[in-house]
Structure 1
């Protein structure tokens, strides 16, 4: 039995209509009908055949990987479609890029440590070394002179000690406040990091985390043709759609989408090899090779800044 007939038979057994499958997969009805009829000529491109079958099978609870393997001879080859693929770094280069990004944090900590050491030396000199040197000079001068002039009263001595203590306390407070302000500004910088990479999922999935960001802005540069949707997820359910869910081409590039409405945003990219993605102006290098896995999903965990 052909793969399309198997999907249609399973759908009917579960009592689902094409409209219900469309609602779950966000795939247009005409493409779902083409899948059931094994009519690949109606697809927007050969590489969408496997992607749409995976989505269809997942909704029905079928093993999409096994289904595709059993019917691989029925499916068109993606090599017969010519696309201008964007050069994508290898996984090794991607890891190097991530290492370079995270290496900035130790350098920042070293810088803060050096500032702290310099402040400690300065504070020690002002409060301990310099007063000691001054006291020695005064003692030496008294020994060489003919007279030793004592304080007139005990009250004057107490006033001088009080003034010195107040001055030193103010200087220490100001320096400590400045140091805390610098550290707070540095820790509030936006940060983008890769949390998890799942290459064994039915659709390869990359999870990234964006912290200390006031908003979530996505920019897509498209050099070819790709199916794309951006959705807000909450408790496993779609609560909001950002932008149009359709096939995009280079004529739509660059495409900017504001997705600040949800803390978990899902990107479903049909042909990642022709899509360059920036998150809040920072380019995301695909941890999963986009030339090997053109259909990918990306989850963005957004943690807004507290300010």
Structure 2
């Protein structure tokens, strides 16, 4: 829990606890460093208005893995409140009166006439389509088909007295060759595993989503940062209180820091918990397939229940 009147101090202590500088936070949130300094010092008058003040604090808290709702609730007295803007409620009676005067007297008649013309045009088009369809049907009915005659005549074949002389060789040629099975067309076991793999979203509530991974015997998890981005990542067994497999940043090309990423084979695990501090800066792949976040929220918690294929 956080003490009242210490919002800036709370954010600063959490930032230092994670080993982040103000330059790191500026890079992750795109908030100017001077505004971050003002937030930590509680000098909200240095920020561009109450709306942006609350928005900056929300973004700052999310990057640090804090709940903005809890922050706003505990520091309500300290935070600047949004002012409700009232619009001028003057009733435009004169404008309405003038608009009625501008409408011509025959406007109603013109509107009705336009609708009648549109209906007539549609009727004419439908009649034309019907006539064309009838002609096509008639032509199709008059054309003889080979199936109706039961035979196919070749050039130079003599009908004689109406009996058709069939060619045994032609009959053999017309017969389709027996189908041959091709083992190459059969999918391999690896192909079957690839096509059968399924990552299904079971339910999603706020920042928390539950998935089921099935149809595969492999659970290979890889978490990277996008170019120029960084994100705080937690990976644990079962849930947030389970054994931690990773609890640090992933980053790529940030302030000449060494790039960090997470990769582990979790095929022997059941349920894996993942918390992402900055979705817009994070890339997750499962068994080589890109993972799509359920929404664009900055902080998200993901549970993956792995049903290993026997």
TM (norm. structure 1) is: 0.41
Kindly indicate which of the two structures has a greater share of residues assigned to helix. 1
Larger radius of gyration: 2
